[in-house]
Amino acid sequence: MIDSIFYAFPDATFYEKSIIENDHYTFFMIREPSGVSLVIGSKSGFAVDFPFQGEKRKLKEGTFLKCPLSADNTASLRDMFPFTKPVLAGKGNSYGLGDRLGNAGAAHLKAIRKTGFFPVLAQQSIRELERTGRTAQQVIDAASWAVFREGYRDGFGADGDHLKTTGDIDLMIASGFTMFTIDPSEYVVNEAISISEASLQKSFENLPWDELNDSPEAFLNRFENTTFELHDGYALTPSKKEILTGMVKYGGVIAHTKKLADYLRHQYPEHPAELELSVDETDQPTTLFEHLLIASELQRLGIDLVSLAPRFCGDFEKGVDFRGDLNQFREEYLQHLAIAKKFGGYKLSIHSGSDKFSVYEVIGGIGEGAVHVKTAGTSYLEALRTIAEAEPGLFRRILEFSKSRFLEDKKTYHISGVPENIPDVEAMPDHQLKNLLGLDDCRQVLHVAYGSVLHGQREVSAAFKKELMEALDRNAELYEANLEAHFDKHLAPFKQN
């Protein structure tokens, strides 16, 4: 029956990996100039209560439905094919594949299936949802269709990233997310490292001890005059000031994490859930004792982490490689890894993980423990690389608009890009435009403006997004090839890990 349906779509690209046949139906996906659809064929016809809705057409051998990728049809897809639902990632190697446009998932899977990594295919933060104008449900739905299209049945995760409130958790639960990354950055007391001893002592005594199921005396008994063994004979024996400073800095973080973890556990006891804690957005790198303190206290409180994101040494700026001492990173990573092993074997999570190729080489070379890498902006940049190659006029306009938005859009990012360092694109031949995606300054200017391009000034962004999405549809093969090659480069250093 498939052959007869194929003839009904002479201009379509058929996604062969999506074909599923059973005794009653044939399912597969196609791409036409008008977009992507699900096609369902039946020799005996469709019952009135058939869960998929679409345009019905008769054939000599039966009937088929051409179904849009609507919310209702996506829900039916997940009901009929459980492999299109997100599941828990667990504590093995995993990769976060943020897709801000909702069309990168298939290429992400093409790259990931060459490795042993578990794909966290649906990954979006509250900030990203606001800046792209997407919903959490749309993020999950895009991942489900990507998995179906590629016939990927090894499981994928869904990460509600940088969640700060119980309302954020509710939003992600309602859409089916399974991984919850807690962002307690508002509770970090960065100034703890510089206040007077008297102020430090007072702040320590005033921590929310009831919420921590603890007391100052019991806490100090656990940490004072104690040596903690780490990697290859390395040991920590923190001074009392280090202990007080660490707890004042992170006591509120631990209490807030407990509050959200308890809420998730008690409010949604049947929902599959795993927790990541992000403490990477601080003024200073996370010291080894600070990491140990957080991990120890969360374990005492019965909170099991799937991963934890410290702030590592050096600079993890958006869209560019690591800037710092790789030898220092390696030595400290080994000790952070030892702490993770000591307190539950959770993964170390690399935030702002896009394009940190030198860091990947270090971690892949270590070959111990497990890692979770989060990427997002780099996929958007590969979309713009595709536009630069295929539709240079549109790329020029997006770049100029991004430059005009830079001073405003960079405020919430840690970057050092300078728009003035970007060459004059008006004087540049079309075939050279894609080379701009190799320049750090250009990458960062384009990266931070994604929200303005996709969902900023309505009259401008609506036109930009429509043009961008249509151009990527027209050049879908090039776009997916660019994405796959880019993520092959991301993943290759870990193959030995």
* Tens-digit pLDDT profile for residues 220-237: 999 999 999 999 999 999
Please provide the average confidence, as pLDDT, over all residues in the chain: 95
pLDDT-derived band at 435, boundaries 50, 70, 90: very high
Report the pLDDT averaged over residues 155-184.
Answer: 98
Q: How far apart are CA 376 and CA 486, in angstroms?
A: 12
- State residue 438's pLDDT score: 97
Report the pLDDT averaged over residues 88-112.
Answer: 98
Interval 389-427: pLDDT, tens? 999 999 999 999 999 999 999 998 989 999 999 999 999
Query: Do residues 27 and 73 lie in contact, with contact meaning Cβ atoms separated by under 8 Å?
Result: no
- State residue 4's pLDDT score: 75
- Right CATH number for 83-378 from 3.40.50.970, 3.40.50.300, 3.40.50.1000, 3.20.20.70? 3.20.20.70
- State residue 460's pLDDT score: 64
Q: State yes or no: pLDDT of 473 exceeds 90.
A: yes
- State residue 378's pLDDT score: 98
Interval 315-371: pLDDT, tens? 999 999 999 999 999 999 999 999 999 999 999 999 999 999 999 999 999 999 999
Percentage with pLDDT > 90 across the chain: 92
| C-beta neighbour count of 29 within 10 angstroms | 23
- State residue 332's pLDDT score: 98
Report the pLDDT averaged over residues 82-92.
Answer: 98
- Residue 354 Cα distances to 30, 98, 137, angstroms: 31, 10, 24
DSSP-assigned letters across all residues of 366-429: H--S-EEEEE-HHHHHHHHHHHHHH-HHHHHHHHHHHHHHHHHHGGGS-----GGGS--GGGS-
Residue 69 three-state SS = coil
Report the pLDDT averaged over residues 89-115.
Answer: 98
Q: Which residues are catalytic?
A: 161, 276
- State residue 458's pLDDT score: 59
- State residue 481's pLDDT score: 98
Query: Do residues 277 and 339 lie in contact, with contact meaning Cβ atoms separated by under 8 Å?
Result: no
DSSP 194: T
Q: State yes or no: pLDDT of 383 exceeds 90.
A: yes
Q: State yes or no: pLDDT of 255 exceeds 70.
A: yes
Q: State yes or no: pLDDT of 496 exceeds 70.
A: no
- State residue 497's pLDDT score: 41
Query: How many residues are present in the chain?
Result: 497
Report the pLDDT averaged over residues 16-35.
Answer: 94
- State residue 457's pLDDT score: 66
Q: State yes or no: pLDDT of 98 exceeds 70.
A: yes
Q: How far apart are CA 407 and CA 369, in angstroms?
A: 40
Cβ neighbours for 453, distance < 8 A, ≥ 6 positions apart: 398, 401, 402, 461, 464, 465, 468
pLDDT-derived band at 277, boundaries 50, 70, 90: very high
Domain limits of the chain?
2-80, 83-378, 383-489
Query: Do residues 53 and 63 lie in contact, with contact meaning Cβ atoms separated by under 8 Å?
Result: no
Which of 220, 373, 369, 198 is CA-nearest to residue 293? 220
- State residue 376's pLDDT score: 96
Q: State yes or no: pLDDT of 184 exceeds 60.
A: yes
> What is the Cα gyration radius of the chain?
25
